[in-house]
Structure 1
Amino acid sequence: MGRPVCNKKRSKNEKRSNSYKFNASRRQYSYTPIRSLRIHSKNLQSIGIDVDFFCERTVEFMESGETCNIIAVEIAEQSIYFERLLKYHRGQENIRLPEFLNVCFSSIIEYLFEGGTEINHDNVHHIFVAADFLLLPKLKQQCTNQLKEIVSINFSTAIDMWLNYKSSYWPELGSMAYQTILENFEKIWHTSQFKKLSANHIRQILHEDALNCKHEKNVFQAIIQWISEDLETRIEYSLELLLCIRLGMLSSTELDYIKNHDLIQIIPEYLDLLNHWPNCLATTNNRIINAYGQRFITPRLPHQIVMVFGGWRDGEDLVAAVQVYDPTAKTWTLWTENSQPFRMPTNRRRDLLRIPLTSTITNSQANQLQNAIDTFIPINNFQSLLPPDEVACEKNRSGLPVDNNAIMSATRANLIGEFPKRVYAGCVLIGTRVYVIGGFDGDRALKSTLCYDFEIESGWYEASCMYENRYYVSVAYANGYIYAIGGHNGEYGGRLDSAERYIVNENLWQTISSMNHIRSDGSAGELHGKIYVIGGFDGRYYHDSVEYYEPSTDQWTLINRMNSPRGGVSLVQHDDYLYAIGGNNGNDRLKSIERYDPKANKWEIIGEMSQSRSNSSTTVIDNEIYILGGWSGEPASGVLDQVECFNVISCECRIVQNLIYPLSASCACTLKGYNLVKKYVHPFPIVSSHCIGNMSKRVSIQCIMFAIGCKGVTT
């Protein structure tokens, strides 16, 4: 866009009355008056210009009487408040402002003139209040972002901000601080500020479904700590706080620990509840169960979830669906184009039983429940409680059978399930967007870039395409660029050593230097700004070689080799290390996991999985690497539904809930943030397996009926 000009030609002797100035934070093209320029006021008034707006004005603060000079037009251009204030004070010598603005007025003026100002821990509150008062939304948002960063580091500040702002003129700050408390509960309950909260505040926090608590036992520990600060005064609140614990989420060992705690011995009503747990769920005359029973067995909502896209299904075609794992409830949900679950989520739900909320169940259904209990299948693992001949299934675009009578897995449709058929792609999550790069759709290799924004939820869309078709592609993200490296272009002898990168802010791909080796079915990751690529297959050999790309020099450099060749390997970055997981060495699938230390330039085998696998997808939650599905050669070749978590601290693997169906060649990411995550998971009652094992058959049936909301058994 060019500079605006006047059609009238300017004479040689005519001087410009304004100088042109560019400032990115203000209107793109503006005219700033030159202070030394002398313009006769009568001439300006004759053409309808308010002279006051071109003059220096004096600002006086009401209480202190301190003054400062401003140029009216500069301020009015940026702030609607000042524009109206100047009109109101037209003809007056001084403009009077509230005293609280005096503390940071120099920062406000600097922001208005220069387009920015320093915001730090000491002045952020004052600048936020001033920006809100003066109607400066961009500056206010900058302060909000700074406050969010502060409370995410200093949890005592988060508690103070919640208490001070929740009922103030800025409840959004209180809400932001409260979300920080819920998200970081397992760190915050140790702070001194938490111990000083009132009983009502403690109960409000512990009662929340959104409380981010990996282990429900920590809720009990937080209660004990808070009560112990002032036992004599706070003991009276013990029962109402203890009722916030989700008993159904505790293991038998944790229940025994709570039951035997000294404090519980002096709270007879709660002790009686624990002594009769979980059989008490079947009672109808227990006031605690009537009031809290459903909540006791309802998982809290997670703040992080695992999302798995596409993949091969064993014995089937490519899958067009997304699987979502809730690590809090330990359940999987499947999203397809119809937003319907293929297989019932691991937490049993009344809607899939086709039992209305207020109905009873039939003897036939009760017998099926009893048969399930006879084989010790907990309620959260039931596959079907109705005869198979009543279920009419068909094939849909996802390649999965869908029960036409099944209720949608969410309260509203969700476009995440419209993911197309795709395997051997790579994905990265950047902010609220996931990008799926390349892959294979069953017919050809792809060069497309698929994108989904979890915040906007407008569905999947295609961004700019790559230069090359690529499947078996290695993908990583660093500093505003998505890197697509190597792979196969779908043609004979089409394995690649080339690489390219996507400029996220410009929606543009550009080529970069080629690698030192051809790599198809390798894996890539970012560490300290460099892009590392490991393993892969060149058409003849599986690689144990590793190289990294330095963006500043556009060069690839080979480093120390891994301990084993690996194709179909997964590379994961966590803290200051890279982890190479599984893969194929040319003869066998591997169990081993090795770690790279860039300081020592050394690979070290640090652990192994319970099962050998290649072409699994991986993602990270906290200190655990989730290893999802893949292809295994033992005990027999096939696609896996097994999911393992590798703990980077203990270097041990544990088995978690299986995928909904066996899956290989998928890609995965971790979605973070309660407000985003809650759209894709929904808490439903769970009766845990250890509870079922401790019940009699009849009581088990009654408890399951309670969990699904049934009144009783009809005759």
Structure 2
Amino acid sequence: MVFHMKLRTMSSKRKPLYFRNVKQIKRRKQSIGRRCCCRCSSSLQLPLLWKEMRENNQLCDGVVRCEDGVVFNIHRIVLTAVSPYFRALFTNSINRGCMEITEANVRISSGAFRVIIDYAYTRNCVINKSNVFELLKYADQYEILDVVEKCCEFLVKDLTASNCLQVLKFASQFFCKSLTDRSNIYLLQNFANVFKDNEHFCDLSGEHLRQILADDCLNVKSEEVVFEAIKRWTEHCSEGRQKYLLDLIKCVRLGNLPQEKIVKIAHWQAIQADTACTLYLTDILTIMEDFGESLMKQKSTYLMRPRIPYDILFAVGGWSAGSPTSFVETYDNRADRWLVSKDTDVVARAYHGMCSYDGKIFIVGGFDGNEYFNTARCFDPAVHLWKDCACMHYSRCYVSVVLCLDRIYALGGYNGRIRMNSAERYDPVSNQWELIPSMQKQRSDASAATLNDKIYIVGGFNGQEVMNSAEMFDPSTNQWSYIPQMASPRSGVSLIAYHDALYAIGGFNGYTRLPTMEVFIPGASAEWMEGSEMTTSRSNFGTVILDDYIYVIGGFNGSTTINYVEYYDVETDEWVDAAPMNLNRSALSACVISGLRNSKDYSFLDRSRKELHEDVKEDCD
């Protein structure tokens, strides 16, 4: 008992050394943490402090005098931190052993130098159209690489048909490789507008123009555009440019033009005056007359070689030979050929919806013959990769899918029990679906399109009848409202927006498949107007805008699935046949992806080269 009392007495008077050490260590850690936070806080205020001192002309130890006489008092340490040029100048590292200098004269306007000074002190600079070229020039001269990069980023975002040649020339002069590459890509992709709208087009050198026109990636609807560009450039200064004419004419892939167009080119006065050009075109016409159809198939030869397309049309899934398919085909509009893709989805589905966003393809809902899907899949054609997305709240086949204001909308459909009027939208960034107000009508097998940031949906089947009603959803008010109904009921219809009009094409009216088309202009039309008929009646087909034409792809003609493709030229009000798909199918979906960095992977030109290489390899083996 005495022993226990002694222990209690000791504990009440003094704690063991172990417990005291633990507390000291904790206090030491806390004090260290506080000191670190204080130091970080001070360092964050340092740029503001330097800026304030410059504005108040405090502790300045250097002077920079601009070409217009304006003088800036500066802290040399701040300016030398962003510019190796000024570091070498102020420290006199070029003339070693000499005293450091404190004054500098620069051949730059005070406005541009003020932007550079602001960047040195704050790491922010104001770049606009009026100062970007001068700023890039002197940021490059003074080796302020961050400002060079910011200028290049600004110019890339500001590229237009009217300024891209100027930007390209400027970027080449200052060895800005990234800006040069981006400007050149923009030039090739928008060439038809560049040669018409850019006042500097006729200032191109003959060799530079030849390089542009010979490029496989030149985005032109027809080789006629290439000839028109040559004609404009040559006639601008005909005396000094006749010597380039033959090399430029050889850039026109004449085998992709009808003979009457070549004859028209041959009658151009400048060609008539050039013996070499006349002989060249005469030989081309002779070859085409002698070989005809056999020559047309030789797409690997330069004369017939198509350009690499800027826009790639993807046709995915559908119903074929009595079952759904995961088949993927791509269309090369420059070669007028459909190519079977190896990027087949693992999930076979039909009656699904599809749209493109940010260079990717999103497939929503559908039916595999047994299951009605609430799933969504995403395909990235730049890396040839499929992946799953978040699931919808409801299963939907015969669903209408459309993109509006960076959100993907899934409207109506059939869940295996009922036709639905519910609607939901998907945010590709957060990968989440949310329900929105339901439509006023139940609709499956309808079609939707976006025009002027509003969503329109027409037709469909409600479980009892094929409908001709139409309605509009305004995301800004989150409300549905009716618009004038179509003249004809349509399910399996395709609705597409082009310019300021909506086109409702084909479908099933309850009795037969339709070749007809109706047109509605929101805000201008009181009713739907009759349009030109397709050459083939069809329902449940794909529809896209490609090369300013409305393409219709595949479908069901009332007796069988079809692979027929045709397009509508709004300007001529005519339907024209295009190459058919490789597979007959209906209930497919289609969309267009533009400007893929690997568009060559989906081109007929690349495919034919690979096949030729494989044939040569087999022959060698």
TM-score computed with the length of structure 2 as normaliser: 0.79
Correspondence for 1:572 among 496, 502, 517: 496
Q: Residue by residue, what CA displacement relative to the aligned partner does 1:241-298 show, whole Å, maximum 9, x if unpaired?
A: 2111212111121122123333333333443343343654899xxxxxxxx9931121
Tell me if structure 2 keeps the 8 A contact 1:630–1:640.
yes
Distance 1:141 1:545 in 2: 54
Tell me if structure 1 keeps the 8 A contact 2:66–2:105.
no
Tell me if structure 2 keeps the 8 A contact 1:452–1:461.
yes
Task: Determine if the alignment matches structure 1 residue 618 to structure 2 residue 543.
Answer: yes
Q: 2:323 aligns to what SS in structure 1?
A: coil
Distance 2:460 2:123 in 1: 49
Please state how far the C-alpha of 1:145 moved relative to its aligned partner. Answer: 4.4
Distance 1:82 1:147 in 2: 24
Q: 2:264 aligns to what SS in structure 1?
A: helix
Tell me if structure 1 keeps the 8 A contact 2:400–2:410.
yes
Distance 1:116 1:450, change over 3 A: farther
Tell me if structure 1 keeps the 8 A contact 2:332–2:602.
no
Distance 1:73 1:557, change over 3 A: farther
* Residue in 2 that maps onto 1:632: 557
* Residue in 2 that maps onto 1:523: 447
Tell me if structure 2 keeps the 8 A contact 1:57–1:94.
no
Q: Which runs of 5+ in 1 are unaligned?
A: 1-5, 22-28, 37-54, 284-291, 337-415, 687-705, 711-715
Q: 1:587 aligns to what SS in structure 2?
A: coil
Distance 1:657 1:597 in 2: 31
Distance 1:233 1:123 in 2: 35
Correspondence for 1:170 among 176, 187, 207: 176
Distance 2:254 2:522 in 1: 45
Distance 1:30 1:441 in 2: 59
Correspondence for 1:444 among 371, 389, 392: 371
Distance 1:665 1:80, change over 3 A: farther
Which is worse superposed, 119-128 or 667-676? 119-128
* Residue in 2 that maps onto 1:428: 355
**Counterpart residue type for residue 654 of structure 1:** V
Please state how far the C-alpha of 1:30 moved relative to its aligned partner. Answer: 5.0
Q: Residue by residue, what CA displacement relative to the aligned partner does 1:365-424 show, whole Å, maximum 9, x if unpaired?
A: xxxxxxxxxxxxxxxxxxxxxxxxxxxxxxxxxxxxxxxxxxxxxxxxxxx334531211
Distance 1:9 1:224, change over 3 A: closer
Distance 2:149 2:477 in 1: 36
Higher Cα Rg: structure 1 or 2?
A: 2
Please state how far the C-alpha of 1:115 moved relative to its aligned partner. Answer: 8.2
RMSD: 4.0
Task: Determine if the alignment matches structure 1 residue 492 to structure 2 residue 417.
Answer: yes
Distance 2:62 2:224 in 1: 58
Distance 1:114 1:632, change over 3 A: farther
Matches within 5 A, 1:543-692: 543-602=467-526, 603-633=528-558, 637-673=559-595, 675-683=597-605
* Residue in 1 that maps onto 2:130: 122
* Residue in 2 that maps onto 1:377: none
Task: Determine if the alignment matches structure 1 residue 473 to structure 2 residue 478.
Answer: no
Tell me if structure 2 keeps the 8 A contact 1:57–1:95.
no
Tell me if structure 1 keeps the 8 A contact 2:245–2:277.
no
Distance 1:73 1:268, change over 3 A: closer
Distance 1:69 1:167, change over 3 A: closer
Task: Determine if the alignment matches structure 1 residue 513 to structure 2 residue 518.
Answer: no
* Residue in 2 that maps onto 1:207: 214
Task: Determine if the alignment matches structure 1 residue 220 to structure 2 residue 227.
Answer: yes
* Residue in 2 that maps onto 1:379: none
Please state how far the C-alpha of 1:303 moved relative to its aligned partner. Answer: 1.2
**Counterpart residue type for residue 482 of structure 2:** L
Q: 2:482 aligns to what SS in structure 1?
A: strand
**Counterpart residue type for residue 261 of structure 2:** E
* Residue in 1 that maps onto 2:14: none
Distance 1:707 1:653, change over 3 A: farther
**Counterpart residue type for residue 158 of structure 2:** I
Higher relative contact order (CA 8 A, sep 6+): 1
Q: Which runs of 5+ in 2 are unaligned?
A: 1-28, 51-57, 93-99, 291-298, 617-621
Q: 2:133 aligns to what SS in structure 1?
A: helix
Tell me if structure 2 keeps the 8 A contact 1:310–1:419.
no
Matches within 5 A, 1:246-265: 246-265=253-272
Correspondence for 2:71 among 49, 54, 66: 66
Tell me if structure 1 keeps the 8 A contact 2:402–2:409.
yes
Correspondence for 2:308 among 293, 301, 305: 301
Distance 1:103 1:257 in 2: 54
**Counterpart residue type for residue 504 of structure 1:** P
Tell me if structure 1 keeps the 8 A contact 2:90–2:101.
no
Q: Residue by residue, what CA displacement relative to the aligned partner does 1:310-352 show, whole Å, maximum 9, x if unpaired?
A: 1122x2532222111111111111113xxxxxxxxxxxxxxxx
Distance 1:564 1:95 in 2: 82
Task: Determine if the alignment matches structure 1 residue 461 to structure 2 residue 387.
Answer: yes
* Residue in 1 that maps onto 2:324: 318
Q: Residue by residue, what CA displacement relative to the aligned partner does 1:133-176 show, whole Å, maximum 9, x if unpaired?
A: 67665x7665434323433242xx22222233225321322222
Distance 2:44 2:79 in 1: 10
Distance 1:516 1:200, change over 3 A: same
Tell me if structure 2 keeps the 8 A contact 1:628–1:642.
yes
Q: 1:294 aligns to what SS in structure 2?
A: coil
Distance 1:641 1:119, change over 3 A: same
Q: 2:160 aligns to what SS in structure 1?
A: helix
Distance 2:255 2:540 in 1: 36
Overall identity of the aligned pairs, in %:
31
Tell me if structure 1 keeps the 8 A contact 2:506–2:516.
yes
Please state how far the C-alpha of 1:499 moved relative to its aligned partner. Answer: 0.7
**Counterpart residue type for residue 323 of structure 2:** D
Distance 2:556 2:59 in 1: 75
Tell me if structure 2 keeps the 8 A contact 1:502–1:508.
yes
Q: 2:235 aligns to what SS in structure 1?
A: helix
Please state how far the C-alpha of 1:429 moved relative to its aligned partner. Answer: 1.4
Tell me if structure 1 keeps the 8 A contact 2:495–2:504.
yes
Please state how far the C-alpha of 1:180 moved relative to its aligned partner. Answer: 2.2
Tell me if structure 1 keeps the 8 A contact 2:47–2:122.
no
Tell me if structure 2 keeps the 8 A contact 1:642–1:657.
yes
Tell me if structure 1 keeps the 8 A contact 2:493–2:504.
yes
Distance 1:87 1:596, change over 3 A: farther
Tell me if structure 1 keeps the 8 A contact 2:425–2:433.
yes
Please state how far the C-alpha of 1:127 moved relative to its aligned partner. Answer: 4.6
**Counterpart residue type for residue 446 of structure 2:** G
**Counterpart residue type for residue 331 of structure 1:** R
Q: 2:301 aligns to what SS in structure 1?
A: helix
* Residue in 1 that maps onto 2:16: none
Please state how far the C-alpha of 1:239 moved relative to its aligned partner. Answer: 1.6
Tell me if structure 1 keeps the 8 A contact 2:161–2:194.
no
Correspondence for 1:7 among 30, 37, 45: 30
Q: 1:671 aligns to what SS in structure 2?
A: strand
Distance 1:656 1:95, change over 3 A: farther
Task: Determine if the alignment matches structure 1 residue 151 to structure 2 residue 154.
Answer: no
**Counterpart residue type for residue 185 of structure 1:** F
Tell me if structure 2 keeps the 8 A contact 1:581–1:593.
yes
Please state how far the C-alpha of 1:445 moved relative to its aligned partner. Answer: 1.4
Question: Greater helix share, 1 or 2?
Answer: 2
Distance 2:63 2:334 in 1: 57
* Residue in 1 that maps onto 2:15: none
Tell me if structure 2 keeps the 8 A contact 1:298–1:685.
no
Matches within 5 A, 1:223-238: 223-238=230-245
Distance 1:59 1:449 in 2: 63
Matches within 5 A, 1:380-419: 416-418=343-345
Please state how far the C-alpha of 1:82 moved relative to its aligned partner. Answer: 12
